[in-house]
Chains A and B, each alone.
With several copies, the nearest count.
Chain A
């Protein structure tokens, strides 16, 4: 029996009465903001490997943070084309870093920042650094494709509306998910230098695959898995700076064109980083992260310059010095705005000058946390 012979309620009762002014003061009330502020957003996935990551939403015009969405660890984010729905695939271990792993696909309402639903995935999803090609929406918006690695590669197909798993498609030796235009399915990059075109049935439950002719040489000049679409084609870039223009619309992926970004440029410049390039389709200009003195192993180095490259004219329009940008995304505008993240916690906003070859001018910054390697935006 607990016998308390004294009164010591502290915060509960031991209050010294305060003289309260009887004036016009009206107490404020704590509440929860209903929706985020309107206006176009930049999405940054702040990945964590020992706890909860988050999907940060910033205003495009001033980088004001509008809010965070919560995810598990080692996750990926996906934003719907209308910017109103977001998804994340991530891991929830029973004891955060040990014990059984539950891999979850969360669906978020972007305006309200609520978790609309969650579905449990087969426990095979790749626990990878942030790459947009690892969690994708089909071009009709009905299916979600999740990159798996056990380390055997496969893709889980889930219903975008419910998150329910429809099938798992083995994609041995292939990686990355590139939704097919105009039909259900995706292409993947394969380790032998081909692409595999995987067509998924209307109900999402079966699939067939077709290999391309060789597209690139994975030994001599491998390509990054970051893709950008423009003018009906899909662009990739190689470690050495060769731009590949691919047609994804046929039965197999076909190479349409190639271009060398660094022709005639001194200094050993090469592309580098994570989400290392982005195309503004309004003006047909590619913005790409470049570093000098490239060598074997330098392909993940952050940018010392961002180059603006004219895809039609096939020439570099401008080269802008930057500090340690490792991922970027550009707005779709006649006067594009570039958003770039560093590995050490900064999001930079750059305005561009059309009269100066879209050279970048710093125009704002914000704080990031975790490993911020994927960015997306919706106008």
Chain B
């Protein structure tokens, strides 16, 4: 037991040290996903939880909402400032900042194709918090820290060299049906 914990946390910490870019380049991710039902997003091993349909559905007008609004479909579990309003894009951190090495994941329905996508919310790090950008606090499928990979009340810059929180991107990393 003890060995397992040591191994796991040791491995996880080591994973966390790897760069997001290196992980993202791994071509084996999708097959890994299919095999284990887990997602490696920027270095952390995260559970892929089925979208909780207990509560209501997406608003009808979601398709018309642009990506600079908190109502945009990808932002269904985002808690932070939009990087695309701070010099970045939907998936790019603003120049000079760093992408977080670890991230949390949401499951959001794309109103155009009706499919549920896994969205990695990477924080961008090492720059002053970008309060110039819209602050969004949506929480579909969000869980407290006991399901860390689904938790958005922590600073996901935690594993970076510079932990200052700047803003958040929303990156499509998988399909969940």
Contact = CB atoms under 8 A, between A and B. Distances in A.
Contact of B16 (A49, A150, A368): A150
B55 A191 contact: no
A34 to B, nearest CB: 6
A349 to B, nearest CB: 15
Contacts of B34: 20, 22
Contact of B92 (A7, A33, A70): A33
A313 B76 CA distance: 39
A21 B175 contact: yes
Interface in B71-129: 76-77, 85-89, 91-99, 102-103, 115, 117, 120, 122, 124, 126-129
A176 B175 CA distance: 31
A317 interface: no
Contact of A68 (B13, B115, B130): B130
A54 B165 CA distance: 13
Interface residues of A, number: 101
Name, among A36, A97, A224, the residue most crowded by chain B CB atoms within 10 Å (CB to CB).
Answer: A97
Contact of B91 (A28, A49, A99, A224): A28
Interface in B120-165: 120, 122, 124, 126-133, 137-151, 153-159, 162-165
Contacts of B177: 18-21
B97 A32 contact: yes
Interface residues of B, number: 98
Contact of B50 (A9, A16, A54, A293): A16
Interface in B40-92: 42, 44-50, 52-56, 76-77, 85-89, 91-92
B46 to A, nearest CB: 6
A353 B93 CA distance: 38
A354 interface: no
A52 B29 CA distance: 38
B94 A67 contact: yes
B101 to A, nearest CB: 10
A298 B137 CA distance: 10
A172 interface: yes
Given A68-B86, A126-B154, 17 more contacts: A5-B1, A11-B46, A14-B47, A27-B24, A28-B172, A29-B21, A30-B120, A32-B95, A36-B87, A52-B164, A65-B130, A66-B94, A93-B163, A93-B164, A111-B95, A173-B146, A367-B131
Interface of A: 2-5, 7, 9-23, 25, 27-36, 46, 49-50, 52-54, 56-57, 65-71, 74, 91, 93, 96-99, 101, 111-115, 126-129, 131, 147, 149-154, 170, 172-176, 188-191, 218-220, 222-225, 240, 293-300, 366-369
Interface of B: 1-2, 5, 8-9, 12-13, 16, 20-21, 24-25, 29-30, 33-34, 36-38, 42, 44-50, 52-56, 76-77, 85-89, 91-99, 102-103, 115, 117, 120, 122, 124, 126-133, 137-151, 153-159, 162-166, 169, 171-177
10 contacts: A25-B117, A27-B172, A30-B20, A30-B42, A32-B97, A32-B124, A67-B88, A114-B95, A152-B13, A172-B9
The 5 tightest CB contacts between A and B, nearest first, are A97-B164, A113-B96, A17-B37, A67-B87, A175-B145
